[in-house]
Amino acid sequence: METKRTDRIFRVTNAVRGRQEMSRGVLSLRFNQDHGCFTCATETGLKIYNVEPLTQKLTLGQDVVGSIASAEMLFRSNLVAMVGGGTSPKYDEKAALIWDDTAKKVVMDVSFNQPVVSIKLKYDRLIVVLRNQIHVFSFPNNPTLLHSFDTRDNPKGLCDVSPFGQVIAFPGRKCGSVQIADLETTQPGQSTSPITISAHQGELAYITVNQQGTLLATASKKGTLIRVFDTTTKKLVVELRRGADPATLYCITFSHDSSFLCASSDKGTIHIFAVKDTSLNRRSTFKKMGFLGTYVESQWGLASFTVAAECACICAFGPGHSVIAVCVDGTFHKYVFTTDGNCNREAYDVYLDIGDDFE
């Protein structure tokens, strides 16, 4: 009996990669730095899509690059960072690759003695994440190792870097802590001491910084709270409640002007929070457990919408008050929200079918 296409999905972890189910072979999804495009790494190669309008921009088949574990596009340039993986890799999982689509070939190959878990790009930096180290290289000409940071065991490759600032954030050595460093000071032979923020008591599930690098958002594996910190003062700016029940966070993203934040989880709900004008968030009072039994106020999202439950997805802000969700089942969702809490669907599509039509 023919398997339904919608039943072939790929469940993944926070980095939108990992747990395999019935699938069309999607291994990871990632927006580029301006959220105008997203990469789709699959068992059969790499695809890149434009968001507005939703169109396929690039296909690199299995015969060209093999199966790809993860990829990141550098803004809207011809450069794409890739890591081999999956069931039919052409490239070693221990190498960070740069594909130049103008030259139609891999133009950089930086190898390590262990698998590359994640890779991040800036116009002047290449960041490679291993299980317990993060390496920062100059980029793109003659990559030189500028600095290495030791981390707590980091199997999910948690790390984020500000596209228009010089801030990089990654797990600290203590459970639940985040280290923040200034890439501008990471020069060869120069010692740098990252700032450490004790963000959670439990293990980290997600780390993200805003476009300018002034704000850091974190969540633990419990997945009930999202905490936003000032990266300079280390002070907690706001605490946002995703829900009361534990959940696996797949993605947290700031809007371009840092006014809002969106988050996705295995509950199938995309939550939208206000960060600057927190009076827009819904509020409720919880009794805090403990000897004193004090009451604390929680800020809930101002709006939300749903996608398929337990179907991992990435989310980001589009033009105006819109939020885009791209899921590993091949679906594309666009919703427009208002500051009074309304949220309406503006677009729905199956991006993998667009690729099929293109091919």
CB 135 within 8 A of CB 120: no
Please state the rounded mean pLDDT for residues 291-316. 79
Q: With bands split at pLDDT 50, 70 and 90, how would you rate the model's confidence at 288?
A: low
237-275 pLDDT tens trace: 999 999 889 999 999 999 999 999 999 999 999 999 999
According to the model, what pLDDT value does residue 240 have?
Answer: 95
59-107 pLDDT tens trace: 999 999 999 999 999 999 999 999 999 999 999 999 999 999 999 999 9
| Closest residue by Cα to residue 215 from 133, 301, 276, 297 | 276
Please state the rounded mean pLDDT for residues 105-132. 95
According to the model, what pLDDT value does residue 275 have?
Answer: 96
Which residues fall within 8 angstroms of residue 71, CB to CB, at 6 or more apart?
28, 30, 39, 41, 46, 80, 81, 82, 83
Choose between 35 and 25: higher pLDDT. Answer: 35
According to the model, what pLDDT value does residue 104 have?
Answer: 94
CB 132 within 8 A of CB 152: yes
Please state the rounded mean pLDDT for residues 106-135. 95
41-54 pLDDT tens trace: 999 999 999 999 99
Q: With bands split at pLDDT 50, 70 and 90, how would you rate the model's confidence at 197?
A: very high
| Closest residue by Cα to residue 126 from 142, 138, 144, 114 | 138
Q: How far apart are CA 85 and CA 290, in angstroms?
A: 47
Question: What are the tokens at 322?
Answer: 């819109």
Q: With bands split at pLDDT 50, 70 and 90, how would you rate the model's confidence at 188?
A: low
Please state the rounded mean pLDDT for residues 129-151. 91
According to the model, what pLDDT value does residue 81 have?
Answer: 96
Q: What is the DSSP string of 114-141?
A: S---EEEE-SSEEEEE-SSEEEEEE-SS
Residue 320 has pLDDT above 50, yes or no: yes
CB 64 within 8 A of CB 109: no
Which residues fall within 8 angstroms of residue 340, CB to CB, at 6 or more apart?
none
Q: With bands split at pLDDT 50, 70 and 90, how would you rate the model's confidence at 187?
A: low
